[in-house]
């Protein structure tokens, strides 16, 4: 696989002095789906706008398919399709004309059979002669995607594609994204929804206050999510965890009479039975045990909270 999008140490300071991106670096492979997950104001739209040439970067370097987005703007832009957050559609225009015009704006010749294919793929074929204003919100979103695909881009950006859409349309959107990936299109989507990132992304990047906090393969994040904590409450506090229990990597809870054991729920053996025997042999008496799931939501909230605390310090 080759790198399709390379982002190196990108900073963005808006005119008012706000630093929206604080040195973001990221490499995205051809055919990959990356989800950028982050709260409001994290810098997701700013990053996409810079890559697409809508905003300028303060410092750093970005290439798309090897083309520098500043020095080689046209070639870079030709490779990119953008589905924006806002509906920027002409209400009286017909669907087919809207999409054809978008292709023309990229300086490409007419290609009716390609556009027919795009409309069919997005279930817009029977609406091709309908004026935009007569479409439902969901259909308008599909038109935004059709516009973005009108010049057969190799990289597609979807800025919060499913914000405010119903469950059915969300699932349809995910299916569309998967089909595009199967054709080798590289996809970067921003989202507030963790389950959306989990459902379709190969990797998940967490962004907060202009910093990328983590980029990790979705499967490995899911495995982390598959970890559970066993909270062991003891009759008496233990200041030091006995040496005989070192293989369990136990740690203290909030109090000295609580020990925590983390284990993988997917593993063939969780080690819990043996741990309980070994605890008793070490002379520790149990009062209670309970389990606790650490979810991706928790990982995410924890990361963002730590980042905010660092910024405040």
Tell me the window of 3-11, 41-49, 132-140, 144-152 that interacts with ligand ATP (CB under 6 A): 41-49
Closest contact distance (angstroms) between CB of 168 and ligand ATP is 23
Q: Does 20 bind ligand ATP (CB under 6 A)?
A: yes
Tell me the window of 12-20, 127-135, 173-181, 255-263 that interacts with ligand ATP (CB under 6 A): 12-20
Q: Does 240 bind ligand ATP (CB under 6 A)?
A: no
Query: What does the radius of gyration of the chain's CA atoms come to, in whole angstroms?
Result: 25
Q: Does 31 bind ligand ATP (CB under 6 A)?
A: no
Select from 202, 185, 26, 36 the least CA-distant residue to 118: 185
Q: Does 16 bind ligand ATP (CB under 6 A)?
A: yes
CA–CA distance, 198 with 218 (Å, rounded to integer):
6
Select from 142, 6, 18 the least CA-distant residue to 66: 6
- β pairing state of 203-208 and 211-217: antiparallel
Q: Does 119 bind ligand ATP (CB under 6 A)?
A: no
| Residue 184 C-alpha from the chain's centroid | 18
Name which position in 40, 113, 240, 246 contacts ligand ATP (CB under 6 A).
40
Per the listing, tokens 């080689």 go with 72
Helix (H, G, I), strand (E, B) or coil at 159: strand
Q: Does 14 bind ligand ATP (CB under 6 A)?
A: yes
- Across 65-145, the runs of DSSP E, i.e. the strands, are 67-68, 80-83
Q: Does 42 bind ligand ATP (CB under 6 A)?
A: yes
Q: Does 109 bind ligand ATP (CB under 6 A)?
A: no
Q: In this structure, how many other beta carbons lie within 10 angstroms of the beta carbon of residue 45?
A: 19
Q: In the range 43-102, which residues lie near ligand ATP by CB under 6 A?
A: 43-46
Positions in the binding site for ligand ATP (CB under 6 A): 14, 16, 18, 20, 38, 40-46
């Amino acid at each position: 696989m080759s790198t399709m999008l390379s982002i190196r140490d990108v900073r963005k300071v808006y005119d008012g002095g706000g630093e929206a991106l604080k040195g973001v670096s990221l490499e995205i492979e051809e055919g990959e789906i990356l989800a950028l997950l982050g709260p409001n104001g994290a810098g997701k739209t700013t990053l996409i706008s810079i890559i697409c040439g809508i905003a300028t970067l303060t410092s750093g370097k970005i290439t798309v398919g090897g083309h520098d987005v500043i020095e080689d703007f046209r070639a870079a832009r030709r490779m990119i399709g953008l589905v924006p957050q806002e509906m920027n559609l002409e209400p009286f225009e017909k669907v087919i004309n809207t999409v054809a015009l978008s292709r023309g704006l990229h300086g490409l010749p007419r290609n009716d059979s390609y556009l027919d294919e795009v409309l069919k793929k997005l279930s817009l074929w029977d609406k091709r002669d309908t004026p935009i204003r007569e479409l439902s919100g969901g259909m308008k979103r599909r038109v935004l995607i059709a516009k973005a695909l009108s010049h057969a881009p190799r990289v597609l950006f979807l800025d919060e594609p499913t914000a405010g859409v119903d469950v059915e349309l969300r699932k349809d959107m995910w299916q569309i994204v998967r089909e595009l990936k199967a054709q080798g299109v590289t996809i970067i989507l921003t989202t507030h929804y963790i389950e959306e990132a989990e459902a379709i992304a190969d990797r998940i990047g967490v962004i907060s206050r202009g910093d990328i906090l983590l980029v990790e393969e979705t499967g490995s994040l899911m495995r982390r999510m598959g970890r559970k904590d066993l909270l062991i409450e003891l009759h008496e506090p233990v200041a030091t965890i006995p040496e005989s229990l070192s293989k369990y990597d136990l740690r203290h809870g909030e109090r000295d009479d609580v020990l925590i054991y983390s284990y993988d729920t997917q593993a063939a053996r969780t080690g819990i039975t043996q741990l309980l025997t070994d605890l008793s042999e070490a002379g520790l008496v149990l009062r209670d045990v309970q389990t606790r799931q650490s979810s991706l939501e928790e990982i995410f909230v924890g990361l963002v909270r730590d980042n905010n605390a660092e910024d405040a310090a």
